[in-house]
Amino acid sequence: GQSLEQPSEVTAVEGAIVQINCTYQTSGFYGLSWYQQHDGGAPTFLSYNGLDGLEETGRFSSFLSRSDSYGYLLLQELQMKDSASYFCAVRDYTGFQKLVFGTGTRLLVSP
Partner 1 sequence: DSGVTQTPKHLITATGQRVTLRCSPRSGDLSVYWYQQSLDQGLQFLIQYYNGEERAKGNILERFSAQQFPDLHSELNLSSLELGDSALYFCASSPAPLGAGQETQYFGPGTRLLVL
Smallest separation (angstroms) from partner 1 to the CB of 47:
9
Strands annotated E in the chain: 3-5, 9-13, 18-25, 32-37, 44-49, 53-57, 60-65, 70-75, 84-93, 97-101, 105-110
Pick one of 43, 61, 62, 78: the residue that binds partner 1 (CB under 8 A): 43
- With H, G, I as helix, E, B as strand and everything else as coil, classify residue 82: helix
The interface mask with partner 1, positions 50-79, x = CB under 8 A, is x-----------------------------
Residues that bind partner 1 (CB under 8 A): 30-31, 33, 41-45, 48, 50, 87, 89, 91, 93, 96-104
